[in-house]
Chains A and B, each alone.
Chain A
Amino acid sequence: MDDALHPYVLRLGDNALVLSQRLGEWCGKGPALEEDMALTNVALDLLGQARMWLSYAAELQGDGADEDSLAYHRNAPEFRNLLLVEQPNGSYADTLVRQFFFDAWHALALRELGRSSESRVAGIAQKAAKEVAYHLRRSSDLIVRLGDGTARSHEMMQAAVDNLWRFTGEMFETDAIDAAARAAGAGFDATSLRREWLAYVGEVLETGTLRMPPPEAWMQKGGKQGVHSEHLSRLLAEMQVLQRTHPGAKW
């Protein structure tokens, strides 16, 4: 087992997997056909990225694990995703704001990881960065259109921004796992990303006539260390039920 990189790659894979599953819950229920297609296409990109990260994590783990065993046979405390991505879909405003906050971080994180000297991490990140750039463009566009839309859409978007803000701080927290990955040539300086993230998010929110909550507000954290909200257990119950009931089942 590669202790420096394995938990770090697992975090990247879990973020993509959990958000993909959340977006998949909208399939067939989107507020418009175009939105339904967009959410499920973003989910598909994230699922592809999750497969690449988790396959690599499984190789680093090296005990016969594979992408499927990591996705279907771990319990909630073994998942290492950010709290933000496991938050329930809520209203469409909640889904869009969650996506926007994550996309803005994800684009920056992948840009940094793409410059990594660890070639496998760099390759996956460069591939994913192109997809996420498109996601960010779309979510930024919708923040502006719905923030600066009707009185009702503005109110719903502002409520979602205010409610989800407390889950954004965790993206810029660093611990020993981040430090070890950086030492192995694969991580990035989360503190410098925070400045860039705040500047970009602030600019888009302002264009959408939305108020950005104070950056120094109190923040929830723990997802990266496996301390999750109960929402994750419910998500996993649905995602894992088939493989837990019939291990190894195939199409």
Chain B
Amino acid sequence: MHTATTDVWRWLSEIPDPEVPAVSIVDLGIVRDVRHGADARLVVTVTPTYSGCPATEVIANSIREALQDHGVADARIEMQLSPAWTTDWLTPEAKEKLRRYGIAPPAGLAPGERAIDASRILRYRPADDGVTCPRCGSARTELISGFGSTPCKALYRCVACREPFDYFKPH
């Protein structure tokens, strides 16, 4: 008997991201598809956030474990690169969860942008504007480091409340 894919989506939405546990792997847009293959086996398609992100294998294992806990032992996990993941795959709820967790959500991407805009690559420009402090809400913030504790984050400081905070890099 087929497992309903809506059930699978619900189970997957309970799996926290290993590096940012405030959001689930579904919130982050890592799970691309849930379907049944020609051989009737369940197929879960996932996409990596960053090419070298060490969490990718941990995520695949968490998916296998969650499905096994629900009695699906023979699911197949497929990796899909294209279309490439961007922070636009984050749901609005995910962005709010990040902010409440103390991580400023990504800002500065064109609305709805999911494809590669080549003109963005070569434009030499200063750091993103519009990064607001997740603690006090001030827009007076400054970049400390373009890279932070995980591949998906940069480090900022709030000029108003003086607190440093993580910023989820627009990508």
Binds B, one of A37-45, A69-77, A169-177: A37-45
From B52, B83, B120, B147, contact of A46 by CB (8 A): B52
Interchain CB contact under 8 A, A37 and B145: yes
Q: How far is the CA of A122 from the CA of B81 in the complex (A)?
A: 10
B146 within 8 A of A: yes
B122 within 8 A of A: yes
Chain A residues 131-155 with CB under 8 Å of chain B are 131-134, 136-138, 140-141
Given A38-B146, A41-B151, A45-B51, A126-B121 contact (CB < 8 Å): no
In whole Å, how far is A36's beta carbon from the nearest beta carbon of chain B? 9
Chain B contacts for A128, CB-based, 8 A: 51
Given A34-B145, A111-B118, A130-B116, A48-B50 contact (CB < 8 Å): yes
Chain B contacts for A68, CB-based, 8 A: none
Q: How far is the CA of A49 from the CA of B53 in the complex (A)?
A: 10
Chain A residues 40-64 with CB under 8 Å of chain B are 41-42, 44-49, 51-52
Chain A contacts for B50, CB-based, 8 A: 44-45, 48, 131
Chain A residues 87-120 with CB under 8 Å of chain B are 107-108, 111, 114, 119
B6 within 8 A of A: no
Beta-carbon nearest neighbor of A39 in chain B: B147
A82 within 8 A of B: no
Q: How far is the CA of A124 from the CA of B146 in the complex (A)?
A: 23
Q: How far is the CA of A137 from the CA of B145 in the complex (A)?
A: 13
A203 within 8 A of B: yes
A-facing mask of B144-170, CB < 8 A → 1, else 0?
111110010001000000000000010
Chain B residues 41-78 with CB under 8 Å of chain A are 48, 50-54
Interchain CB contact under 8 A, A44 and B151: yes
Beta-carbon nearest neighbor of B117 in chain A: A133
Provide the main secondary structure of the chain B interface: loop
Chain B interface residue count, CB cutoff 8 Å, equals: 29
Chain A contacts for B147, CB-based, 8 A: 34, 37-38, 41-42
Chain A interface residue count, CB cutoff 8 Å, equals: 41
A123 within 8 A of B: yes
A5 within 8 A of B: no
Q: How far is the CA of A134 from the CA of B85 in the complex (A)?
A: 15
A-facing mask of B114-133, CB < 8 A → 1, else 0?
00101011101110000000
B24 within 8 A of A: no
Interchain CB contact under 8 A, B148 and A52: no
Chain B contacts for A123, CB-based, 8 A: 81-82, 84
Interchain CB contact under 8 A, B53 and A48: yes
Given A34-B155, A41-B151, A45-B52, A130-B169 contact (CB < 8 Å): no
Q: 5 more A-B contacts (CB under 8 A) besides A48-B48, A49-B52? A: A41-B147, A51-B51, A107-B121, A127-B84, A129-B116
Q: List 30 A-B residue pairs with CB atoms under 8 Å apart, sorted by A's residue number.
A: A34-B144, A34-B146, A34-B155, A37-B145, A38-B147, A44-B50, A44-B53, A44-B151, A45-B52, A48-B48, A48-B50, A49-B51, A52-B51, A111-B116, A111-B121, A114-B118, A123-B84, A126-B83, A126-B84, A127-B48, A127-B51, A127-B82, A127-B85, A129-B84, A129-B121, A130-B86, A133-B121, A134-B169, A140-B124, A141-B126
